[in-house]
Structure 1
Amino acid sequence: MPADLPKGFPEPTDIGTIEVKKYPHYRAVTYRHQGDLTVATRMAFNPLFQHISTNNIAMTTPVEARYLQEGSWEETSAADVSFLYSQPEINPQTVDADVTVTDTPEMMVVSIGIQGPYTWESYQIHLDKLKDWLQQHPEYQIFGPPRRLFYNSPMTPPYLKYSEVQIPITPR
């Protein structure tokens, strides 16, 4: 990984493995993208990078994309894309109007590790694998919209890129 994980974050899930993980409370700078979700992270990069550069905040990995609910969690037309701060105590000096500072409480997720291009098709395929896993594990219920964690820079060759698809869950 080219950058550090935020304080208390678990290690990435192994490629092809499905596991339940817990995340601590964390803070991030977030850009909301409306419309075509296949370009959400690309559209968010400049405003997010400008924010951390202006505030002298170190880049961490991963970048998070949450696919937001409208009705059911499968009907998305917006995404919140975030650069995560290394510690939840960081308070930026300035925040431009096109981004917000967000706090995410502790959460439990079911996660699958992926190696390969950051395509929308890959996201959908792996999200379906997590939905199938949840069908086989009724002891958990969905507790929020799905998200994807991206661990590599745009300069990384697509076949080497690593990401995770996750669904927030809670015990029944």
Structure 2
Amino acid sequence: MSSAYEQAFAKTNVGEFEIKALPAARLIACQTDATYFEDNNRLFRPLFRYISSRDIAMTTPVEAEINPGVMYFYIGAEVSHNLLDATDGVSVHELPERLVASLGVRGGYSEHNFNKASAKLSAWLLKNPVYQATGTARGIFWNGPFIPSFFKRFEVHIPVQLVKD
């Protein structure tokens, strides 16, 4: 995926930690019992067929739950709700605005790189107790498979909430 695609939200800079609000969004998803990194190609194909058959533009990023593996495609706001129907392999989700801790990373989309970045983000959150994790880490992948690993960008997001005094 290149920058020519519509972006669902702004990227976190490489090496930076930040708290950011993600806008409300519509997503389609495909799920497997395996981990994301074991089955991401199988997850991608049904989602790509879904948007292609409905003439829906690809957006970035691709979002992923890791275990069990779930791949999400963001759907642009201009797409009619009438086009979005669940199928045997693809579900439709409406997400409210949400707050996440984010770490921007450069490198290949591997389980090792994800786990390393996730550990760094979790450690950063522990040093910033004004925010509390409310869920598990997700991968946010910005580039397509034909981009060399050393150019790829991804983020790790952990959903958070502000801790009240």
Under a length normalisation based on structure 2, what TM-score does the superposition of the two structures give?
0.91
> Are the counterparts in 1 of residues 37 and 69 from structure 2 also a CA contact under 8 Å?
no
Deviations 1:110-161 (A, max 9, x none): 1011111111100000000111011111111111221111111111111111
**How has the CA–CA distance of structure 1 residues 118 and 164 changed in structure 2, closer, same or farther, with 3 Å as cutoff?**
same
Unmatched 5+ stretches in structure 1:
68-76
Q: CA deviation at 1:94?
A: 4.6
Q: Which of these residues, 111, 114, 117, is aligned with residue 123 of structure 1?
A: 114
User: How many corresponding residue pairs?
Assistant: 160
Residues 1:139 and 2:130 are matched in the alignment: yes
Q: CA deviation at 1:98?
A: 0.7
> Are the counterparts in 2 of residues 40 and 81 from structure 1 also a CA contact under 8 Å?
no
Give 1:16's aligned residue.
15
**Two-structure CA RMSD over aligned residues (Å):** 1.5
Give 1:48's aligned residue.
47
Identical pairs, percent: 31
**How has the CA–CA distance of structure 1 residues 169 and 88 changed in structure 2, closer, same or farther, with 3 Å as cutoff?**
farther
Q: CA deviation at 1:170?
A: 0.3
Q: Distance in 2 between matches of 1:107 and 1:88?
A: 21
Deviations 1:85-106 (A, max 9, x none): 0118632255421110111111
**How has the CA–CA distance of structure 1 residues 31 and 93 changed in structure 2, closer, same or farther, with 3 Å as cutoff?**
closer
Q: CA deviation at 1:3?
A: 1.1
Residues 1:165 and 2:164 are matched in the alignment: no
Deviations 1:38-95 (A, max 9, x none): 223222111000100111111001000023xxxxxxxxx3122111101186322554
Give 1:86's aligned residue.
76
Give 1:29's aligned residue.
28
> Are the counterparts in 1 of residues 84 and 92 from structure 2 also a CA contact under 8 Å?
no
Q: CA deviation at 1:4?
A: 1.2
Unmatched 5+ stretches in structure 2:
none
Under a length normalisation based on structure 1, what TM-score does the superposition of the two structures give?
0.87
Q: Distance in 1 between matches of 2:59 and 2:5?
A: 5
